[in-house]
Structure 1
Amino acid sequence: MSKTAPRVAPLQPPYPPALQDAFNRIMQGKPPLVLFRTIATSERAWTKFSAAGLLDRGPLSLRQREIIIDRVCARGACEYEWGVHVTIFAEAAQLTSAQVRATVLEGADAACWDESEKALIAAVDALHERATLSDSEFAALRLHYDEKQTLEILMLCGFYRTVTYLANGLKLPLEDDAARFPSM
């Protein structure tokens, strides 16, 4: 991790049994992320945060979900969460190195995306910039995604905007093994 100290000290092991069980479920035997250990300093915050997770099998594919999350984090300058997601999910989501790079450095019209993915990225960008979608942006999204998928897209954008606020606002140190933003 980087040498920057977070603004709220994360919990250190040993963790209370119920929290250790939750960490084990989420992390599948790996040490819990600094983000999780920091949020868990408040039982209420941890309960609310962990109940709002959208990493289960929802109406979007893993690839679609990760494109959204990576773009939200990139637009919010959240290298912490972007790096965690790229490291854990990019390969399984079949994101190429050019696509991973594009989530940070290119527009929604980048040649590496198909039309449905361009619509996702354009929606993320619009929500980031204006907290809404124009009628034409919404229609472009609906050309490729049904109502349930569209709601999931909006919820993912909002949830990961919150994660971005948490990671950036708390100045969480980057995880040692997580990817870093590409440079120009």
Structure 2
Amino acid sequence: MSEPKAPRLTPLPEDQWTGEMREMFEPTIKTFGRVFNIFTTLGRHPKLLKRWMVFANHCLLKSSLTPRDRELVILRAGWLSHSEYEWAQHNRIGLEAGLSQEEIDRVKEGGDAAGWSDSEKALLVAVDEVLDKKNLSDTNWEALTAHYNEQQILDIIFTAGNYALLAMALNTLGVEVDDGV
């Protein structure tokens, strides 16, 4: 199976944004000075974008995970899903969340790589298991519950799932990495 060589859906030009889309994009514009390709591409289906953004906002900004743990989940899901876009965006965000470049690079090796704490190992193995097996082993469930509460475990599962779904869309649609990322 080949990946698209060019975007299958191009980002929606600004002159085609609805008022509601402009409102949705306003926080991103205020924070980053622009709207990223993922949002303007999904903007071709405004109802889907609106509903997905509520969930994605929870995973990225409102979850019970620390920013560091959240980025470990997202980076691992992006790596396993072969998402160049997610990896590029969250490499930068991971650094801002306190991960070192060495740790970000080590995410590629998974939870069994040397250097992770017990909680980080459980977190990374959980991403591997839920994306590969669509389940968690009893062993890793016990490891997770030793370090994370129920809400955090739910956020681990749903964040991994959201970013796997997003990677599928990014890869299928051929969304290009934003300039300067």
Tell me the TM-score normalized by structure 2.
0.90
Distance (Å, rounded) in 1 between the aligned partners of 2:82 and 2:21? 29
Post-superposition shift, 1:43? Answer: 1.5
* Dislocated runs of 4+, deviation >4 Å: none
Q: Where do residues 111-130 of structure 1 align in structure 2 (5 Å cutoff)?
A: 111-130=114-133
1:76 to 2:76 alignment: no
Residues 120-144 of structure 1, C-alpha deviation per residue, up to 9 Å, x if partnerless?
Answer: 0000111122111111111111111
In the alignment, which residue of structure 2 is the partner of 1:61? Answer: 66
Distance (Å, rounded) in 2 between the aligned partners of 1:50 and 1:107? 28
In the alignment, which residue of structure 1 is the partner of 2:6? Answer: 5
- Kindly provide the amino acid, as one letter, of the partner of residue 26 in structure 2: N
- SS in structure 1 at match of 2:113: coil
- Contact map agreement 1:4 1:173 (CA 8 A) in 2: no
Tell me the TM-score normalized by structure 1.
0.88
Alignment size in residue pairs:
174
Distance (Å, rounded) in 2 between the aligned partners of 1:56 and 1:33? 16
Q: Percent identity?
A: 30
Post-superposition shift, 1:64? Answer: 0.5
Post-superposition shift, 1:21? Answer: 2.1
Post-superposition shift, 1:80? Answer: 0.4
- Contact map agreement 1:108 1:118 (CA 8 A) in 2: yes
Distance (Å, rounded) in 1 between the aligned partners of 2:24 and 2:64? 24
1:143 to 2:143 alignment: no
Distance (Å, rounded) in 2 between the aligned partners of 1:29 and 1:23? 10
- Kindly provide the amino acid, as one letter, of the partner of residue 129 in structure 1: D
- Contact map agreement 1:68 1:121 (CA 8 A) in 2: yes
Alignment counterpart, residue 162 of structure 1, candidates 162, 165, 170: 165
